[in-house]
Structure 1
Amino acid sequence: MNRLSSTIVCAILFPALVGACKKSATQTEAMQQERQASTEATPTSGWTQTSYTYSIQTPWNLPQSDRYSYSSGEHHFWIYNGDACQFEGCSTGPRSELRMNNDYTSGRHQFEGDVYIVSGSDGTDIMQVFGGVTNATSLLLKITAASSGTIKRYDNETLMTSAYNKWIHVNVQHDADNGKIYVYLNNTLKGTFADRGNANHYFKCGVYNITGSRSETRWKNIKYWKNGPVGQ
């Protein structure tokens, strides 16, 4: 084949090869995107959002507005060291909390919300799954001052560091039938934990207990979900 013939053959074949390569790359990208979408399902996929009512619990000897406010979709909760508990004569720590009226003893239930933890909050529980046999709660998410804000399960497992002064998406799934709790932060599963026995359960969020001088959280987009897949 002379040089002219070679040039003509390449001119004919090369565009076809390029087109084939582009098609293959496009198909590969589409497959990758499909796989990525399938592995990034949110923790609420397959769940049913459920309406709820709630009450606010604050120190008994102060006006509620001294420790709680609500504006533009945000609940603000704060307490000081030395504050009283929620009713006269109680012996628990100070609190400013939303108590969701979603009492349950069986089934699958999920809490969802966004939390902003103000720096300096220390030794404070920011979210609870209330109810247990060996303890009063099945889960506490706790903030300490270490590492610019560390979120732990009770005083045990570290779930996140550098948690101060940013919005964090929280999902907590409770499979009460099988005694399991799944904790997600920013749509990432951070741990699966045994609950502390079947009892009357409900969800709470805000601030409860304190070792620093002042603790504050802000919560928004609080939702309640039921009967979906857990640990996805």
Structure 2
Amino acid sequence: MERSYSLLLLFLALFSLKSFNLLCSAADPTDGFTPVPLTEANFVLQKPYNVPLNERCSYEDGVRSLWVYATDKPQDPSSNTQPRTEVRITGLDCSSGVWQFEGYGFVPNGTSGVTVAQIHGAFHGATTLILRIYDGNMRYYSGDLVATDLYDKWFRLNIIHDVDGGRLTVFIDGEERYSTHDQGPGDLYFKCGV
């Protein structure tokens, strides 16, 4: 069987969203946040509609592996979107306040043009943030450079969304790498995967 590994991403199952309860300038992006426990009930796995979940996702030793092929179908037969295997985090009202996503990712060499994390929902457009990998580099949508040289190594990703202030901040391995205005209010939720 010929397999195309052009789109593959691993995320450690230690996904955590955090709600902000103390305004501070911190060395660690999680300082001042209260953890929000995530369970299987907090997220929905989305995958190509014509394949079983176990053919695009696995969970072993605390690591959730997600993969998709360029030739895969979208998540719904009536959709005209690109194929995906991703986690949609549910059950949280992220429409106000300050929220944080934290995950650990691993992107194999050769994976390019894939979204690894996003904040879905916005006043202007469908998303307020998309982080994509192109040739080992992370970009905000397909433009601004966020981080370089991410192939074949684990990295820690933190995204802080100050909804009321309209601000997004991205950290890689605890270091602030990017900050920008969001796309306005909306039905906001975090997604990660590929």
TM-score (norm 2): 0.82
Alpha-carbon deviations, 1:27-74, whole Å to 9, x = none? xxxxxxxxxxxx872100011001231111000111111111111111
Instruction: Kindly report which structure 2 residues correspond to 1:20-31, keeping only aligned pairs within 5 A, or say none.
Output: none
Instruction: Flag the 1:198–1:185 CA change in 2: closer, same or farther, 3 A.
Output: same
Which has more helix, going by share of residues? 1
Alignment partner of 1:95 is 2:84: yes
Give the root-mean-square deviation of aligned CA atoms: 1.2
| Higher-RCO chain (CA-CA 8 Å, sequence separation at least 6) | 1
Alignment partner of 1:169 is 2:150: no
Q: Which amino acid aligns with 1:118?
A: P
Q: Which amino acid aligns with 2:36?
A: T
Give 5+ residue unaligned stretches, structure 2.
1-24
CA distance, structure 1, for counterparts of residue 94 and residue 102 of structure 2: 17
Match of 1:230 in 2: none
What is the identity percentage for the equivalent residue pairs of Structure 1 and Structure 2? 35
Alignment partner of 1:141 is 2:131: yes
CA distance, structure 2, for counterparts of residue 177 and residue 79 of structure 1: 35
CA distance, structure 2, for counterparts of residue 150 and residue 169 of structure 1: 14
CA distance, structure 2, for counterparts of residue 40 and residue 119 of structure 1: 33
Q: Which amino acid aligns with 1:85?
A: P
SS of corresponding position for 1:65: helix
In structure 1, which of residues 42, 58, 77 is the aligned counterpart of residue 28 of structure 2? 42
Match of 1:112 in 2: 102
Match of 2:147 in 1: 160
TM-score (norm 1): 0.69
CA distance, structure 1, for counterparts of residue 79 and residue 110 of structure 2: 26
Q: Which amino acid aligns with 1:83?
A: D
Q: What is the aligned residue count? A: 166
Match of 1:191 in 2: 178
CA distance, structure 2, for counterparts of residue 106 and residue 85 of structure 1: 31
Q: Which amino acid aligns with 1:64?
A: L
**1:104 Cα deviation from its structure 2 partner:** 2.1
Alignment partner of 1:57 is 2:43: no
Instruction: Flag the 1:103–1:86 CA change in 2: closer, same or farther, 3 A.
Output: farther
CA distance, structure 2, for counterparts of residue 100 and residue 197 of structure 1: 20
Larger radius of gyration: 1
Match of 2:20 in 1: none
SS of corresponding position for 1:87: coil
CA distance, structure 1, for counterparts of residue 182 and residue 33 of structure 2: 21
